[in-house]
């Protein structure tokens, strides 16, 4: 099997590769080749470095998608995107990367299939940002997509393309609508949702964090560990069971910011909670107000997708995976 990971240097991409390295059979067959791509050249896990080709490239640049698909990868993980806040701030860049790059990839696969039979599995990272207000109490799979951000619009259009290209038989695609991933390791990024992770990650290591919204803000979460599990399960799932509607909202946990903080208090104590500084930000508040807060994910759950059900478990997963199993100090 030849596996192509686009966005391999990102957080989810790196963790996906690490999981595959730790669980070689997780994609349902032997892997003899990896192609790892991102705008910054990715680093392959040591265990399969000898059979990996790494490349720094922008999928939206002319010719890049065609070059990647010319080698006919069997499994394609498309994780590359610029995040919500950056896509809102830079309209042209958002559409160029998040939409045009995706369309270029899909078109490259379609054109390659004209040369000889070729139908790879494509696992696409979408987002709950495809939904916009007004919301029902719980968003089900029948709810329409009316995004209120450029990022959400780019993902929604890509979802439609994925379903149509799959319907036409050009590839076998599935779109994974990710909850907000929390706790994201590393440094804060430009995502409008970044504070959800910041108010937990920084205090856990004794650093101050800024909270730009009210504690009564509710949102939909899953851990990085769960996100990797979503992609691995999607890679091996019988997509005949998914049917024509190829984009799925993933399971997650609906929680208030105040409930996040309460979980931090239970796991790390009051000392950590006191490191959260309230600093309201009207721009972030406006963006977050248009986001979905709760989902009915019966369809995805029946198909075998799983996520955490308590915020304490999300925090503990971060401590285990990023902090060596214990809180510093």
Please say whether the beta carbons of 228 and 15 come within 8 A. Answer: yes
Apex 305 CA angle, 303 and 310, nearest 5: 140
Any catalytic annotation for residue 151? yes
Among candidate residues 95, 118, 151, 165, the one labeled active-site is 151
Residues listed for the chain: 329
Query: How large is the C-alpha radius of gyration of the chain?
Result: 19
Task: Quote the CA–CA distance of 231 and 28 in Å, as a whole number.
Answer: 13
The strand pairing partners of 35, in sequence order, are: 4, 53
Tokens read off for 72:
């006919």
Question: What is the phi-psi region of residue 72: left when phi exceeds 0, alpha when psi lies from -120 to 50, beta otherwise?
Answer: left
Task: Quote the CA–CA distance of 182 and 310 in Å, as a whole number.
Answer: 12
Task: Quote the CA–CA distance of 193 and 83 in Å, as a whole number.
Answer: 9
User: Helix (H, G, I), strand (E, B), or coil: what is residue 128?
Assistant: helix
Please say whether the beta carbons of 86 and 150 come within 8 A. Answer: no
Task: Quote the CA–CA distance of 219 and 226 in Å, as a whole number.
Answer: 16
Distance of CA 235 to the CA centre of its chain: 14
Please say whether the beta carbons of 143 and 149 come within 8 A. Answer: no
Buried b (16+ CB within 10 A) or exposed e, 226-255: bbbbbbbbbbebeeeebeeebbbbbbbbeb
Please say whether the beta carbons of 119 and 169 come within 8 A. Answer: yes
Tokens read off for 65:
């998608």
Tokens read off for 113:
């299939």
The residues carrying an active-site annotation are 151
């Amino acid at each position: 099997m030849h596996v192509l990971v686009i966005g391999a240097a990102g957080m989810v991409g790196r963790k996906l590769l690490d999981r595959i390295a730790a669980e070689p059979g997780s994609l349902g067959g032997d892997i003899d080749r990896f192609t790892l791509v991102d705008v910054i050249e990715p680093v392959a896990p040591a265990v399969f470095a000898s059979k990996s080709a790494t490349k720094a490239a922008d999928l939206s640049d002319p010719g890049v998608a065609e070059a990647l698909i010319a080698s006919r990868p069997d499994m394609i993980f498309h994780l590359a995107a610029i995040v919500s806040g950056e896509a809102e701030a830079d309209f042209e860049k958002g559409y160029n990367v998040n939409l045009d790059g995706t369309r270029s990839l899909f078109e490259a696969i379609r054109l390659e299939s004209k040369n000889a039979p070729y139908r790879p599995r494509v696992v696409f990272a979408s987002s709950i940002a495809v939904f916009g207000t007004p919301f029902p109490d719980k968003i089900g799979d029948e709810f329409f997509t009316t995004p209120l951000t450029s990022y959400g619009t780019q993902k929604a259009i890509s979802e439609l393309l994925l379903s149509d290209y799959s319907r036409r038989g050009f590839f076998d695609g599935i779109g994974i609508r990710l909850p907000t991933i929390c706790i994201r390791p590393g440094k804060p990024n430009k995502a409008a949702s970044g504070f959800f992770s910041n108010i937990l990650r920084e205090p856990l290591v004794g650093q101050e964090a800024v909270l730009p919204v009210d504690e009564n803000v509710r949102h939909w979460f899953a851990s990085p560990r769960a996100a990797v599990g979503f992609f691995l399960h999607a890679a091996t799932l019988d997509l005949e069971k998914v049917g024509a509607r190829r984009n799925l909202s993933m399971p997650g946990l609906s929680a208030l910011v105040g409930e996040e903080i309460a979980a931090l208090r239970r796991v790390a104590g009051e000392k950590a909670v006191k490191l959260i500084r309230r600093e309201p930000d009207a721009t972030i508040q406006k963006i977050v107000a248009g986001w979905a807060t709760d989902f009915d994910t019966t369809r995805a759950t029946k198909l075998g997708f799983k996520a955490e059900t308590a915020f304490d478990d999300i925090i503990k997963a971060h401590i285990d995976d990023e902090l060596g199993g214990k809180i510093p100090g």
